[in-house]
């Protein structure tokens, strides 16, 4: 599902219970991560739940690196948060990822105020991991 559709659907829901259900549904729709990708190299440190992110780098326009991401979690709501973060960043040029602030999205959806501190830290850890991969891709391309 693309980010614009997710934002539109999210804003349509008034009750937070419905928004949490929608997050869980986003997680269920997440493309499965191969079992082999559930490894220490892909594990995101700093998350209370287990989270794995797999990054594949492809050449975009003019050969600039594009990050294609897959992810998974062992917790339903966190898996939905993974889906939201992937909708924001996956398929984007590395340079764009470095200038895109996930916090803006989470605030616009009201999620910042409704996530536990542990989940907020986990989201920050996921975003930092993606940005680290983007910085490495940019450096390798230079």
**pLDDT digits over 86-110, tens only?**
999 999 999 999 999 999 999 999 8
Active-site residue identified among 6, 30, 44, 47: 47
The rounded distance, in Å, linking the Cα atoms of 88 and 70 is 12
| Residue of 88, 83, 89 lying closest to 137 (CA atoms) | 89
Would you say residue 74 has pLDDT above 90?
Answer: yes
Active site residue 47: yes
The rounded distance, in Å, linking the Cα atoms of 106 and 120 is 10
Write down the residue that tokens 């960043």 correspond to.
Answer: 89
What pLDDT, on a 0 to 100 scale, did the predictor assign at position 55? 96
Mean predicted lDDT score pLDDT of the chain: 92
Greatest alpha-carbon pair distance for the chain in Å reads 47
The more confident residue out of 15 and 60 is 15
pTM for this entry: 0.93
* Domain 3-141 part of CATH 3.20.20.210: no
Distances (CA, A) of 101 to 10, 29, 107, 127, 133: 19, 24, 10, 9, 15
Would you say residue 44 has pLDDT above 80?
Answer: yes
């Amino acid at each position: 599902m693309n980010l614009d559709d997710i934002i539109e659907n999210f804003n349509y829901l008034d009750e937070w219970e419905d928004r949490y259900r929608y997050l869980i549904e986003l997680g269920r729709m997440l493309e499965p991560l191969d079992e082999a990708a559930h490894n220490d190299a892909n594990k995101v440190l700093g998350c209370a739940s287990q989270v794995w992110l797999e990054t594949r780098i492809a050449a975009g326009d003019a050969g600039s690196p594009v990050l294609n991401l897959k992810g998974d979690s062992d917790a339903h709501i966190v898996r939905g948060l993974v889906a939201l973060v992937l909708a924001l960043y996956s398929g984007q040029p590395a340079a764009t990822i470095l200038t895109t602030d996930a916090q803006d999205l989470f605030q616009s959806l009201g999620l910042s105020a409704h996530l536990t501190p542990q989940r907020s830290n986990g989201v920050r850890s996921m975003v930092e991991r993606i940005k680290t991969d983007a910085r490495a891709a940019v450096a390798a391309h230079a």
